[in-house]
Amino acid sequence: MTRQPGLARRAEQLLGSAVVATAPVAGGDVSIATKLRLGNGTTALMKTMTQAPPGFFECEAWGLRWLAEATAEGGVRVPEVLAVEADCLVLAWVEPGRPSGDDAAALGRSLAATHAAGAPSYGAGRDGFIGRLPLPQGPTDTWAEFHARRRLLPFVRLAVDRGALEPAAAAVVDGLAARIGELVPEEPPSRLHGDLWNGNVLWDTDGRAALVDPAAHGGHRETDLAMLTLFGLPHLPRTLDAYAEVAPLADGWQDRIGLFQLFPLLVHACLFGGGYGARATAIARRYR
């Protein structure tokens, strides 16, 4: 590890501890991640971004702290927020390891506990971000209204505007959004991570999971499970089976996975183009 003077000084201002060394961390798609070795013997992760959207890191810190409230009740761990400002976020370091099947099952049980902590409503008290894209989070009375108005429809429009979705395909998704309440059983709002793909699940050297980069909100718990299924997870069947053992899902949840994967596919279409728009369209047509 070397030492980046400017970044180290900024971290020292926030943490009140000397930064002995810094090192880049690979894998970040949105923020620049840097490992900090501190003079007090601890290690931290600092996330920075050039011209971060207003409220970007504050929103991430809020989501982590909200999810952390469930940890005492057996919910999934999240890294402690050490400092947050408009230009950066500093988190406790998670030393990476590899999970076993038993570790994956433990994640399923703890994720169920996080969901069971609940939320005041569908949505959140503040808007957020998914990647760098603004994410509307305004509360609604029902999950169907939230998913249609805050998830599917805004990103359908954005995908069309960016040329990632044809207008005819958008009409198919619009039609599905209007019927989503008929296809998904209503549940009380769960405490969700909201962007739970494999890259946002960290495993420490003891095999314990920690969740990062949330788009936290109150929603339908099948949202998180479908996201894990979309991009995979080590020993995923163990996670899903353990979850269902302690928090059974409504009949037919496996058949609804595609419905919940439609939103992240639309987001990817907006961000990356490629074949994501076609995948989203194919899913929407499957449920016509």
Domain containing residue 37: CATH number: 3.30.200.20
**The pLDDT value given to residue 76:** 98
**The pLDDT value given to residue 28:** 66
Q: At what angle do helices 167-183 and 276-286 cross, to 10 degrees?
A: 50
In a shared domain, residues 109 and 61:
no
Amino acid at 6: G
In a shared domain, residues 81 and 105:
no
The count of structural domains within the chain is: 2
Among the listed residues 103, 195, 213, 224, the single catalytic one is 195
Residue of 266, 144, 159, 273 whose CA lies nearest to 282:
266
In a shared domain, residues 73 and 120:
no
Instruction: Show the DSSP H helices in 162-252 as ranges.
Output: 167-183, 222-231, 236-246
**The pLDDT value given to residue 69:** 98
Q: According to the 3-state scheme, what is the secondary structure of 127-180?
A: CEEECCEEECCCCECCHHHHHHHHHHHHHHHHHHHCCCCCHHHHHHHHHHHHHH
In a shared domain, residues 117 and 185:
yes
In a shared domain, residues 106 and 211:
yes
| Ranges of residues in the chain whose predicted pLDDT is under 50 | none
In a shared domain, residues 135 and 200:
yes
Q: Which helix (H) or strand (E) holds 32?
A: strand 32-38
Burial letters for 87-110: b for 16+ Cβ neighbours within 10 Å, e otherwise? ebbbbebbeeeebeeebbbbbbbb
In a shared domain, residues 218 and 257:
yes
Half-sphere exposure of 45 (CA within 13 A, CB side): 21
| Structural domain that includes position 280 | 101-286
Distance in angstroms (rounded) separating the CA atoms of residues 239 and 82:
29
Give the bridge partners for 128, in sequence order.
135
Retrieve residue 24's tokens: 């880049």
**The pLDDT value given to residue 1:** 64
Residue of 231, 265, 52, 53 whose CA lies nearest to 155:
265
- Known catalytic membership, residue 141: no
| Ramachandran angles phi, psi of 229, nearest 5° | -70, -35
In a shared domain, residues 55 and 81:
yes
Q: CATH no. for residue 174? A: 3.90.1200.10
**The pLDDT value given to residue 50:** 85
